[in-house]
A and B are shown apart, each in its own frame.
Chain A
Amino acid sequence: MDYILIIISAVFVNNIVMTQFLGICPFIGVSNKVDTSMGMAGAVMFVMVIATMVTYLLQQYILEWLGIPFMQTVVFILVIAALVQLVEIILKKVSPAMYQALGIFLPLITTNCTILGVAILAVQKEYNLMESVVYAFSNAAGFGLALITFAGIREQLDLVNIPKSMKGVPIAFIIAGLLAMAFMGFAGIVK
């Protein structure tokens, strides 16, 4: 039950993009096409969960143990940066063709602030490992949901004439605002 609440909360009620304001850059930058948004969502899901697991273990079993939880920021960012690179190396080594296909398929997948943010938030919320993983997963799902919906709207808007001064980023923010407003209706579903 708790897990379900975490999921509903992260996907609908406290959506990472629309109410927590994390991952805005890819949200604004990569959300032009529905297909790539989907790919991006899948990749972020993997990276986010793995990163959260690793940072969780580091935090609980190393930093706390050493009494230096304040090193969180430095350690997490380094670990995440290295981790993402590591995954790439492994993929390339393991199957070059697959790696290449991914490279063509996906836009740049970056260690944006979502990954770090979710890792830190999971620690702050004092979740246990399983909860952290569910939390990371559902935040990635919420990210994907926002990204894909948003990409759909933008694809549609590509075909109509919007005022020149609103084109691009401003209109993206307006849409995000209205979408966030719509999602406010879910408030209270998870107390």
Chain B
Amino acid sequence: MAKKESNFTNMLATLLIVTFASSAALGFIYELTKKPIEDALLYKKTLAVQIVLPEFNNDPFGEAKRVAVGKDTLNIYPGRKDSVLTGVAVETSAPGYGGDIRLLIGFLPDGTIREVAVLEHKETAGLGDKILKSKSDFPLQFEGKNPDNFKLGVRKDGAGEVDAISASTITSRAYCKAVQKAYDALKKGEIENE
């Protein structure tokens, strides 16, 4: 078959057919993938909470609480298993070297730090990014500690028992500060078993 001539009707018709076909296909595939996409998004949202908290089967977001600490207001997500409080995740932040460091901290009901997840940071790669577990052991210092008897401050500053990342005192300070804030919020939030 020879090439179609480029007259107006031909062009219009072709384009209409092409667009019709592809839009139909797209709409169809959209319907197909809608569910997985939503699942993925939900997973992404809850992943951090899942990591930092012990097992839970409630909807921590549904039970979120906002607590004011100083000038800031922090979000607290309690995790419960069969209505028993297993842990509390606190979203917190403090200004580091390159910008705000946002952490999600999982506390056990007794206030012990279980896990810390870095949600977002802008620290220098190679220096401040050692707050990531994949980059250094710095964050491990906090696990299993209870801020009640573990002084959240940089040892070098004489302010506490945390060994700073070398050459990243500011980041380390900010990290400690954020954790402290989260702990304060936790205390203030007074989340109890239901």
A: which residues have CB within 8 A of B? 68, 70-71, 74, 187-188, 191
Contact = CB atoms under 8 A, between A and B. Distances in A.
A68 B99 CA distance: 35
B122 A74 contact: no
B57 interface: no
A70 B99 contact: no
Nearest to B37: A70
B26 A71 contact: yes
Contact of B26 (A74, A187, A188): A74
Contacts, number: 14
* Interface size class, chain B: under 10
Given A70-B30, A71-B26, A187-B98, 11 more contacts: A68-B27, A70-B26, A71-B23, A74-B22, A74-B23, A74-B26, A188-B98, A188-B99, A191-B98, A191-B99, A191-B122
Contacts of A70: 26, 30
Interface string B18-31: 00001100110010
A187 B30 CA distance: 39
A179 B53 CA distance: 45
B121 to A, nearest CB: 12
B164 to A, nearest CB: 21
A68 B23 CA distance: 11
Q: Is the interface of A mostly helix, strand, loop or mixed?
A: loop
B129 to A, nearest CB: 14
A74 B15 CA distance: 13
Contacts of A187: 98
A74 B26 CA distance: 10
10 closest A-B pairs (Cβ-Cβ)? A191-B99, A70-B30, A188-B98, A71-B26, A74-B26, A74-B22, A191-B122, A191-B98, A71-B23, A74-B23
A3 to B, nearest CB: 20
A70 B26 CA distance: 9
Contacts of A68: 27
A68 B30 CA distance: 10
A68 B26 CA distance: 11
B15 to A, nearest CB: 10
A191 B97 CA distance: 10
Contacts of A71: 23, 26
Interface in B82-113: 98-99
Contacts of B27: 68
A71 B23 CA distance: 9
A71 B98 CA distance: 36
Contacts of B22: 74
B22 to A, nearest CB: 7
Contacts of B122: 191
Contacts of B23: 71, 74
14 contacts: A68-B27, A70-B26, A70-B30, A71-B23, A71-B26, A74-B22, A74-B23, A74-B26, A187-B98, A188-B98, A188-B99, A191-B98, A191-B99, A191-B122
